[in-house]
Amino acid sequence: MSHTNSLRGTLLAAAVIAVAYASPAVAQTQAGQAAAPVTPAAGEAAPDFMAMATDSTGTVSHVMLSSLRGKVVVLAFYPGDRTSGCTAELNKFRDEYKALFGDGVVVLPTSSDSLGSHSSWAKDAHFPFTMIADPKAELATKYGSQGGGKYFKRSVYVIGKDGKIAYAEPKFNALAQDGYDKLAAAIKQARAN
């Protein structure tokens, strides 16, 4: 009987370890419960992903980070289409596109909204970028941007040409010019490298 209990304990411990390693974006507490999502830091390899995206024409495409190697990528998570803070942020991205990003930078705003919602908003607002739909929060989880519920935390990542995180702002303030200034400087540095 004690051998069976020992075997069960060993299997349980192995299962807990397997779950911990299967979900690298979620830290585990000593009790085995999920803790806060882990945010990739500057200098770390950006978690790869493949996602569905659309633009203002309604064209749907697959976006794979590894296929964008050699380009600077801005991955911007936001809570929801057409909400006040998100509208301010993406309008700023549109209106100051050249100053913020420049040529050759891939800008990927991302929320849990559908491709149809993204395409409609992008068409109405004349957004010059492709928008990722992440309805299951798989991408947001990899980047520590899952805010609970259907809304993501507003966060921005600049991924360098080498595939590493060049800049991470897990609490991007869409209404503060300072945030955009830091983002522009990080993009300029990543483009130079």
DSSP letter assigned to residue 146: B
Is 36 considered catalytic here?
Answer: no
**Rounded to 5 degrees, what are φ and ψ at 29?**
-80, 170
Q: What residues contact residue 24 under an 8 Å CB cut-off, 6+ apart?
A: 38, 47
Cα–Cα dist 87/5, whole Å: 57
CB contact at 8 A, 147 and 121: no
Would you say residue 73 has pLDDT above 50?
yes
Cα–Cα dist 56/171, whole Å: 27
Angle at which helices 115-125 and 84-95 pack, to 10 degrees?
50
The predicted model gives 151-173 an average pLDDT of 97
Tokens of 173: 């303030």
pLDDT score for 37: 62
Would you say residue 76 has pLDDT above 60?
yes
The pTM (predicted TM-score) of the whole model is 0.81
Alpha carbon distances (Å) from 180 to 88, 89, 103: 12, 9, 17
Superfamily of domain 50-192: Glutaredoxin (3.40.30.10)
Domain ranges within the chain, ordered by starting residue: 2-37, 50-192
Write out the E strands in 18-104.
26-28, 34-37, 50-54, 60-64, 72-77
Would you say residue 3 has pLDDT above 80?
no
Would you say residue 170 has pLDDT above 70?
yes
CB contact at 8 A, 151 and 112: yes
3-state helix, strand, coil in the chain (%, to 5): 40, 25, 40
* Ramachandran quadrant class, 54 (left: phi over 0; alpha: psi -120 to 50; beta: rest): beta
Given the residues 46, 75, 76, 86, the one annotated as active site: 86
pLDDT digits (tens, 9 = 90+) for 112-161: 999 999 999 999 999 999 999 999 999 999 999 998 788 999 999 999 99
To 5 degrees, how large is the angle CA 189–CA 40–CA 179?
50
Residue with the two structure tokens 């980070």: 65
pLDDT digits (tens, 9 = 90+) for 12-69: 333 332 333 333 344 433 444 444 568 899 999 999 999 999 999 999 999 999 999 9
